Chain A
């Protein structure tokens, strides 16, 4: 793996609080890489260290094989789209975008076509004379993007760039960002707390929690094979069941005893020996709920329960099924219910089934620490 932009063993404390506790990340050239985590997990601090706006207490920053840890922000070929956009309020849109080239002492005649092209790309060619306060949130966001991209950075940092926008606009800007990334081919380091944004935009995601990286992987990897309880719970919804391993053939199907449910099979996740206490994660959409009995089949888990809550959401229906001490969430696509079959309703006794391949062992329930 060729690391183009590398953060190596970064640590940073503010006062007594350690915001980043030893983070190493390798980002490939041209990749969209996301730092995903709840607020206060250290992702923004990491981004500011990447930009040079903060100095790390330990560790190094490397860009294209060169160490740039001590380089001030104005001498790094890295630009940032700030969360608040941080546009210069006393300058027009045009002057905001032209700021970088002008500071770099490029001739006015030479930078003019560049600024024009940038405004064209973000769809603001007609608003060059406007002041930032006359623009909508989405337009400001585009100016911030153009202002950063015009400098042809080697890496573009984006700090929660869509957080201030409403839902509809956010989805449109996501597609826009994707298009712009394809167009310029610059490496993106994207910070967000919104898993939907991270999943739909990124090539790879680093899920962060409390100053540490919990898992690095493609969106499908972190969703389908979460490395820890935190990842399983933070990305999407999941059912977590605590149990004891009965027999654990390495790599094969494991039998587990879950108190209140009985024996359950799990085929994926980390290896664990007999007698070990573990957590099993099953995504709600991998489960099925039925009034009639489900065919047992090989590798299938089937349990009985009672529907406690039903919530119809148009494309899907969400069930909460009580089974022993557990409350299991199930998501059924409504497309399945076309053949006159009556869906289960509230307080009905039902069968819940899932395949062992969709049950994922994520380690001991006590600590968040996993292998």
Chain B
């Protein structure tokens, strides 16, 4: 029997659709032409120029700072939240579940505006602090649900076993719960990190003067017309993001 070629063709079509823009972008980042478009030969000069551009590096450091703080805090809070959803069932927990789930579906614009209003009304000066708080807010939900997914396979009787064998709850937590949840927590952390590094909309609302993150800075660069530098930056970012995604998938696979 001849197998239909249709799935193969459709698959290739989807891949082209997904990756053609990125391939074009990466290709352009090696184009020596000043304005893009016509191919003027291979060059790494935009990458070299990129490394001399101070504002970009400041923005990158800001992004990394926010992502690290956001990931760190949201991993702790998200894990606790996932644990609570798993461990305690009841009316209040169902409300908790819905409330934690909501930020995953609420539009970013809405999140951004509401956070901005909150910060302004309560007199919190906008800056890296508010960006970090905003990122923690939306990352918690993702971490909580990744950890909760991991907990579905968690056999609660090991907690009884640990206590039965003489472990207090602190020892049980460190020696049993944490190692068993580690793969879930790690993939939650990777997810939170990539989300935070990428975020534009919410950050755009709550960023103060002089505290831009990389995506926001890229946006302003486009407006002021330096597309070649952005091409190189995008190529670099893509490499890093893909690396992180691959790492995350490895963790998820290990946790299965």
Which positions in A face B, CB cutoff 8 Å?
Answer: 51-53, 72-75, 78-80, 82-84, 86-90, 99-100, 103-104, 147-148, 151
Indicate if the CB atoms of A90 and B166 lie closer than 8 Å: no
Which residues of chain B come closer than 8 Å to A99, judged between CB atoms?
Answer: 162, 165, 167, 175
Of A74, A87, A89, A147, the contact of B163 (CB 8 Å cutoff): A74
Q: Is B158 an interface residue (CB 8 A)?
A: yes
Whether the pair A73, B163 counts as a contact (CB closer than 8 A) is yes
Residues 160-183 of B, flagged 1 when their CB comes within 8 A of A and 0 if not, give 111111111001000110011000
* Chain B window 169-199, contacts with chain A (Cβ cutoff 8 Å), 1 for yes, 0 for no: 0010001100110000000000000000000
| A to B CB contacts below 8 Å, 9 in the list | A74-B163, A74-B166, A75-B166, A79-B165, A80-B164, A88-B176, A89-B155, A104-B166, A151-B166
Hey, which bits of chain B sit against chain A, CB under 8 A? 155, 157-158, 160-168, 171, 175-176, 179-180
B contact residues around A147 at 8 Å (CB): 161, 165
CB of A49 to closest CB in B, whole Å: 13
Cα A52 to Cα B171 in complex, Å, equals 18
**Given contact pairs A82-B157, A84-B155, A86-B161, A74 touches B167 in the complex (Cβ within 8 A):** yes
Contact A53 B163, beta carbon cutoff 8 Å: yes
In the assembly, what is the distance between CA of A83 and CA of B175, in Å? 22
- Please indicate the chain B residues that have their CB under 8 angstroms from the CB of A53 in the complex: 160, 163-164
Cross-chain contact A82 with B160 (CB below 8 angstroms): yes
The 9 closest A-B pairs by CB, nearest first: A86-B161, A86-B157, A100-B165, A73-B163, A103-B166, A103-B167, A90-B179, A80-B164, A74-B166
CB-based contact B163/A72 at 8 Å: yes
Counting chain B CB atoms within 10 Å of each CB, which of A84, A86, A151 scores highest? A86
Which A residues are CB-close (under 8 A) to B166? 74-75, 100, 103-104, 151
* A90-B180, A151-B166 known, 20 other contacts, Cβ within 8 Å: A53-B164, A73-B160, A74-B165, A74-B166, A74-B167, A74-B168, A79-B165, A80-B160, A82-B160, A84-B157, A86-B155, A86-B160, A88-B162, A90-B179, A99-B162, A103-B165, A103-B166, A103-B171, A103-B175, A148-B164
Q: Which residues of A contact B160 (CB under 8 A)?
A: 51, 53, 73, 80, 82, 86
B205 CB, min distance to chain A CBs, angstroms: 42
Nearest Cβ in chain B — how far from A318, in angstroms? 40
Q: How far is the CB of B254 from chain A (nearest CB, A)?
A: 11
**A151–B180 CB distance below 8 A:** no
Q: Residues of B contacting A90 with CB < 8 Å?
A: 179-180
Contacts of A104 in B (CB 8 A): 166
Contact residue among A72, A78, A80, A151 (Cβ-Cβ distance under 8 Å from B161): A80
- Kindly list chain A residues whose C-beta atoms are within 8 Å of the C-beta of B163: 52-53, 72-74
Taken together as a complex, chains A and B put the C-alpha atoms of A147 and B160 apart, in Å, by 14
B residues in contact with A89, CB < 8 Å: 155, 158, 180
Residues of A within 8 A of B158 (CB): 86-89
Q: List B contacts of A82 (CB < 8 A).
A: 157, 160-161
Residues of A near B171 (CB, < 8 A) are 103
* B179 pairs with A151, CB closer than 8 A: no
Minimum Cβ distance to chain B for residue A203 (Å): 24
Chain B positions within 8 Å of A52 at CB level: 163
Q: Which residue of A lies closest to B157 (CB)?
A: A86
Q: Give the shortest distance, in Å, between B229 (CB) and chain A (any CB).
A: 47
B13 CB to nearest chain A CB (Å): 41
Query: In the complex the two chains form, what is the Cα distance from A72 to B165 in whole Å?
Result: 11
Residues of chain B with a CB closer than 8 A to A87's CB: 158, 161
In the complex, the answer to whether A79 meets B155 with C-beta atoms within 8 Å is no
List B contacts of A103 (CB < 8 A).
165-167, 171, 175
Residues of B within 8 A of A80 (CB): 160-161, 164
Q: Which residue of B lies closest to A78 (CB)?
A: B164
A104 to B175, CA, bound (A): 13
Chain B residue nearest to A75 in the complex (CB) = B166
> B65 CB to closest chain A CB, in angstroms?
33
A247 and B73 alpha carbons, distance in the complex (Å) = 83
Of the listed residues B155, B160, B161, the one surrounded by the most CB atoms of chain A closer than 10 A to its CB is B161
Q: How far is the CB of A259 from chain B (nearest CB, A)?
A: 52
The answer for the CA separation of A53 and B161 in the assembled complex, in Å, is 10
Q: Is B167 a contact of A88 with CB atoms below 8 Å?
A: no
Contact indicator A151/B165 (Cβ below 8 Å): yes
- Return chain A residues, CB-CB under 8 Å to B168: 74
A238 and B88 CA atoms in complex are apart in Å by 46
A82, A84, A87, A103: residue with the most chain B Cβ atoms closer than 10 Å: A103
* Given A84-B157, A88-B158, A79-B176 contact (CB < 8 Å): no
Residue with the greatest number of chain A CB neighbours at <10 A, chosen from B163, B166, B179, B180: B166
State A51–B165 Cα separation when bound (angstroms).
Answer: 10
- CB nearest neighbor in A for B154: A89
User: Cα distance A87–B155 when bound, in Å?
Assistant: 9
* B168, closest chain A residue (CB): A74
CB proximity of B181 to chain A, nearest CB, Å: 10
Residues of A within 8 A of B175 (CB): 99, 103
* Chain B hits for A148, CB < 8 A: 164-165
CB distance from A66 to the nearest CB of B (A): 18
Which residues of B have CB within 8 Å of A83? 157
Q: Which residues of A contact B161 (CB under 8 A)?
A: 80, 82, 86-88, 147
How far apart are the CA atoms of A84 and B171 in the complex, in Å?
22
Closest residue of chain B to A147 (Cβ to Cβ) is: B165
Closest to A51 in B: B164
Chain A residues closer than 8 Å to B179, beta-carbon distance: 90
Alpha-carbon distance between A327 and B155 when the two chains are bound, in angstroms: 47
Complex CA gap A74/B163 in Å reads 5
- The CA of A84 and the CA of B166, in the complex, are separated in Å by 19
Chain A residue at minimum C-beta to C-beta distance from B159: A86
User: Measured between C-beta atoms, what is the minimum distance from A287 to chain B in Å?
Assistant: 45
